[in-house]
């Protein structure tokens, strides 16, 4: 889609598309099959400026904003959702809280390294008993002079096995609930901190998901993001951007499903005709294409609003909810259009089907998105 894009935005989109098709598409299936993290691809993305898209130019970033990030993310996710989520998390969940809430020290120390992916970023909020109910987290940080002593475990950390820097939400006050949470920057080589178990997943197999373990880990107090007690506010503000990113991922996966389905429908013959000539297939294609266009426009709106710094929690939740459910429908129909072939790893729709499923689960389940959306109306 090119309607309404500036020259700069179109250049970002076209650059991402060309890179995705030439560099990522040829290795995506093998990376998925072997569970291989695309470190070389991430390095090339950084060289193109795609790993520092939200970081101001003064810190070595591209300073392009969320809308340009969305344009690039859709193209990357269209060919490889594992690479797409790595890029999305790094930009929207790892760099943005430092940009928006971090001290000058944190910005000057970490943003230049994040911009070049010298340090790859990750984000840790969830725990065993704190998933959708994120405010119930227990991983504890106790102030001790000019340090915090941290103990506990985090789960479901995307890019955990390869990240160098983690944005981590920790409990600093046990008497308060959401207001007892604070946000910290944690470097991978911090004593007392280690990356734990790597999860064996259905999809996104080229992206690692791990636990994080803290055992009397000492963090410098200067690694606190903002002030004590505002970690939950930081987490939710950050997740607004993350949800836009995952909504974009869903659009990319759905577009891939549509492209593959159209190509197959023009090629496959049954009963002496191309299957694309049958109304049953035509309607699947029409519904898929319509849902993708609607999803894309919702994601675009949320990204524009975030760049304008206006409230967009509802719009981000709507975009993520609609796009993720549309992607799963598209993936299901793509497999159906391919018939038995769609169940084989010889065809990419099998991978799209597996990758699409997570978009309804992370960055807040579909049920959580509906809670967020409904509250914006019922509590107004």
In whole angstroms, give the CA distance from residue 64 to residue 313.
21
- Domains, the chain, in order of start with CATH, read 7-115 (1.10.540.10), 121-229 (2.40.110.10), 232-378 (1.20.140.10)
Catalytic residue among 23, 127, 350, 363: 363
Question: At which residue do the structure tokens 């920790």 appear?
Answer: 170
Residue whose C-alpha is closest to residue 316's, from 236, 233, 204: 236
**pLDDT, tens digit (0-9, with 9 covering 90-100), for 43-74:** 999 999 999 999 999 999 999 999 999 999 99
**pLDDT, tens digit (0-9, with 9 covering 90-100), for 312-369:** 999 999 999 999 999 999 999 999 999 999 999 999 999 999 999 999 999 999 999 9
Residue whose C-alpha is closest to residue 128's, from 139, 116, 117: 139
**How far from 241 is each of 67, 204, 213, 236, 289, CA to CA, in Å?**
11, 20, 26, 9, 25
Whole-prediction pTM: 0.97
In whole angstroms, give the CA distance from residue 342 to residue 348.
8
3-class state of residue 35 by DSSP: coil
- CA trace torsion 304, 308, 313, 318 (10° rounding): -20
- Higher pLDDT among residues 129 and 1, named by residue: 129
- Please say if 269 is a catalytic residue: no
Q: Answer whether 249's CB lies under 8 Å from 345's CB.
A: no
């Amino acid at each position: 889609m090119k309607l309404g894009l500036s020259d700069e935005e179109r250049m970002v989109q076209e650059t991402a598309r060309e890179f995705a098709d030439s560099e990522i598409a040829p290795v995506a299936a093998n990376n998925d099959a072997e569970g291989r993290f695309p470190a070389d691809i991430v390095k090339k993305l950084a060289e193109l400026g795609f790993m520092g898209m939200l970081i101001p130019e003064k810190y070595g970033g591209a300073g392009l904003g969320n809308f340009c990030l969305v344009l690039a993310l859709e193209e990357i996710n269209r060919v490889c959702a594992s690479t797409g989520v790595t890029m999305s998390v790094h930009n929207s969940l790892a760099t943005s809280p430092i940009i928006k809430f971090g001290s000058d020290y944190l910005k000057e120390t970490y943003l230049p390294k994040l911009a070049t992916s010298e340090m790859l970023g990750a984000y840790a909020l969830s725990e065993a008993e704190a998933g959708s109910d994120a405010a119930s987290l227990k991983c504890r940080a106790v102030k001790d002079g000019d340090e915090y002593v941290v103990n506990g475990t985090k789960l479901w950390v995307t890019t955990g096995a390869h990240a160098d820097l983690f944005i981590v939400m920790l409990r600093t006050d046990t008497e308060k609930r959401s207001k007892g949470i604070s946000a910290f920057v944690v470097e991978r080589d911090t004593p007392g901190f280690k990356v734990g178990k790597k999860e064996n997943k259905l999809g996104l197999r080229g992206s690692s998901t791990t636990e994080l373990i803290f055992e009397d880990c000492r963090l410098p107090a200067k690694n606190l993001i903002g002030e004590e007690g505002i970690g939950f506010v930081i987490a939710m503000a950050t997740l607004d951007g993350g949800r836009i990113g995952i909504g974009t991922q869903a659009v990319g996966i759905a577009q891939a499903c549509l492209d593959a389905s159209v190509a197959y429908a023009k090629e496959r013959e049954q009963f002496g005709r191309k299957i694309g000539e049958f109304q049953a297939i035509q309607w699947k294609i029409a519904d898929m294409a319509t849902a993708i266009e609607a999803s894309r426009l919702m994601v675009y709106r949320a990204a524009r609003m975030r760049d304008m710094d206006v409230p967009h929690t509802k719009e981000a939740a709507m975009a993520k909810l609609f796009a993720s459910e549309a992607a799963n429908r598209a993936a299901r129909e793509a497999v159906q259009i391919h018939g038995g072939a769609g169940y084989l790893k010889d065809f990419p729709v099998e991978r799209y089907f597996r990758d699409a499923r997570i978009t309804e689960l992370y960055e807040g389940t579909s049920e959580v998105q509906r809670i967020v959306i409904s509250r914006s109306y019922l509590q107004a």
